[in-house]
Amino acid sequence: MPSTIVLVADQQELHAPLTRRLEDQSHSVFVVKDIPEALLYLRDPACTASVVVFHMVLRRQQDAFTLTEICSFRPYLQVILLADKARGTVFDGQTPHANIRILHRSIGPQELLHVVQDAVGAADAQMGSKEEDSEVDLDAEADENGPTVFTTPFLMRVGMADVPVLLHGETGVGKEVMARRLCAYSPRANKPFLKLNCAALPSELVESELFGYEKGAFTGAAVDKPGKFEIAQGGTILLDEIGDMDIRLQAKLLQVLQDGEVQPLGSRKTVKLNVRVLAATHRDLRRAIEVGTFREDLYYRLNVVNIIIPPLRERRDEIIPLAEKLLKRHMRPGMVEPVLSEPFKELMLQYDWPGNVRELENLMRRLLVYQSEKMIFGDLERAIEHSRTKARPVLPVAVETAEPVAAAAPQVAPAIASITDLAEVARQAEAKLLLEALEHTHWNRRQAAARLNLDYKAFLYKLQKLGLVGKKDKTTVPQTV
């Protein structure tokens, strides 16, 4: 059956013999000169290509991510990468998508022709009837809070819209993965994609990371440093955990988004920006606006499109397919894929997965290490028993914990009569949270930081800021052995 085949090569004469032979077999051949042009064509919903051959090395991680995403929403597309082992590709050491094949670029013309013909046959077999494609729902189901069920056409529309997007969801549901998918479908797919975790760094460092600084702007600023906004020119920036950003910094961020320009710290010049902003949070920002920890004007500036990613426990039909996909992702070349037994699958479906996709991924990686379900069966049973005795919140954890803390310490609540009192209560609550994490991990600070999903240096900074450890004498916190 005739097919459309894309050949990617900066020197088009490399594929001239292959082009002639394919055209002799009635295939349509589309030759492009570089990777960005090829990815732009393949992302187009009107694209009918079934096979693409890259005669150049993919070295940018974003190109590899975009190509994998294209294979995900075009499951019949067959990709052939001609690579030199000495130069390698971004897929080195990883298992690419099942439809991506990596061959040595020294392959002969006749052998390459056979590989392409096999790929055309595989694409035809996977494509099936055109009626199946027409059954794809073009809209996402939505409620008053925003879309919660996504189809590829919906994500493509949002990606191509080039507007700010606010991603909501519990920790581990895949907010960054969703952000990267939107970027892969956007006109900025081949431009920089940068991420900044607003909760992992002190507000002073977040400010310098975002906006940059000039030499001498503060102690330690030995050289000029561009901020992430400036580095991401033409591309996309993800502000992860935006709900944890300092209120003062929120005002400056709002100004940057409104004016479309940034002024580095210590500089008099401004830099015009052309950056798409995506933001993600596990917090209820409307509640945060009510209590005064998040600016309402910034919320409406970011909330052009609001995507709520449901927790894994509300998507139980996805647990097993996700687990099998994650197994394949982390398998080393030559490794035999473990087969999930039916009892183990039933156990996975009974669990609530408080860590969501991240927890599921870690379990699959553990299974690949142990190569035995029996070694983790008991752990999963105990986790299920523990989850049954502990009620899971429906709303984001950070929002739900606000009321129990007040209920557990009623003597503090009446004392909140000013902003100063509120800050003191917040300080005490944060100190209590840090101490509980330290006690739970037997005062192992690295484990405590990981338990709170904090960067280790940020965790130490908070200990020092709250007076739980001195600036120089850090022996007030027991040292780990």
CATH of the domain at 93: 3.40.50.2300
Residue ending a domain, among 111, 132, 153, is: 132
- Distance, in Å, from the CA atom of 149 to the CA atom of 124, rounded to the nearest integer, reads 29
Mean pLDDT for the stretch of residues 72-83: 81
The single-letter code of the amino acid at 106 is S
Please name the residue that has the structure tokens 């995403």: 69
Counting residues of the chain whose pLDDT is more than 90, the rounded percentage is 24
Q: Is the pLDDT of residue 475 over 70?
A: no
Q: Is the pLDDT of residue 112 over 80?
A: yes
| Cα–Cα distances in angstroms (integers) from residue 461 to residues 63, 151, 454, 468, 473, in the given order | 36, 42, 11, 10, 14
Lowest mean pLDDT among 102-111, 162-171, 370-379: 102-111
Mean pLDDT for the stretch of residues 310-318: 90
As a 3-state breakdown, the chain gives helix, strand, coil percent values, each rounded to 5, of 50, 15, 40
Better-scored residue on pLDDT, 249 or 424: 249
- Distance, in Å, from the CA atom of 300 to the CA atom of 143, rounded to the nearest integer, reads 18
- Distance, in Å, from the CA atom of 401 to the CA atom of 378, rounded to the nearest integer, reads 30
pLDDT at 277: 95
Q: What is the pLDDT of residues 330-369, one digit of tens each?
A: 887 777 778 899 999 999 999 999 999 999 999 998 888 8
Is 365 among the domain residues?
yes
**Domain identity same for 37 and 154:** no
CB atoms within 10 A of CB 378: 9
Is 400 among the domain residues?
no
**Domain identity same for 149 and 288:** yes
Is 395 among the domain residues?
no
Q: What is the pLDDT of residues 413-450, one digit of tens each?
A: 444 444 455 566 677 778 888 888 887 887 888 888 88
Q: Is the pLDDT of residue 473 over 50?
A: no
pLDDT at 278: 96
Better-scored residue on pLDDT, 294 or 57: 294
Mean pLDDT for the stretch of residues 109-136: 69
Please name the residue that has the structure tokens 């553990």: 366
Residue ending a domain, among 112, 132, 152, is: 132
**Domain identity same for 316 and 432:** no
Supply 428's token pair: 């005490």
Supply 256's token pair: 């940057």
Residues 235/192, Cβ–Cβ less than 8 Å: yes
**Domain identity same for 210 and 269:** yes
352: CATH: 1.10.8
**Domain identity same for 278 and 147:** yes
**Domain identity same for 120 and 189:** no
249: CATH: 3.40.50.300
The range of the structural domain enclosing residue 335 comes to 312-388
Supply 191's token pair: 């431009």
**Domain identity same for 159 and 275:** yes
Is 470 among the domain residues?
no
b/e per residue 403-415 (b: at least 16 CB within 10 A): eebeeeeeeeeee
Sign of the Cα torsion 17, 23, 25, 27 reads: positive
Residues 60/193, Cβ–Cβ less than 8 Å: no
**Domain identity same for 118 and 63:** yes
**Domain identity same for 35 and 111:** yes
Residue ending a domain, among 293, 308, 323, is: 308
pLDDT at 409: 37
Per DSSP, the residues of 319-369 read: HHHHHHHHHHHHPPTTPPPPPPPHHHHHHHHH---TTHHHHHHHHHHHHHH
Is 89 among the domain residues?
yes
Q: Is the pLDDT of residue 244 over 80?
A: yes
Report how many domains make up the chain. Answer: 4
Is 342 among the domain residues?
yes
Supply 305's token pair: 């499109």
Supply 88's token pair: 């390698």
Is 49 among the domain residues?
yes
For 255, residues 6+ apart whose C-beta sits below 8 A from its C-beta are none
For 210, residues 6+ apart whose C-beta sits below 8 A from its C-beta are 196, 227, 228, 229, 253, 262
pLDDT at 136: 33
Is 474 among the domain residues?
no
**Domain identity same for 226 and 352:** no
pLDDT at 71: 79
* DSSP, res 313: G
**Domain identity same for 159 and 274:** yes
Residues 451/435, Cβ–Cβ less than 8 Å: no
**Domain identity same for 304 and 316:** no
pLDDT at 390: 63
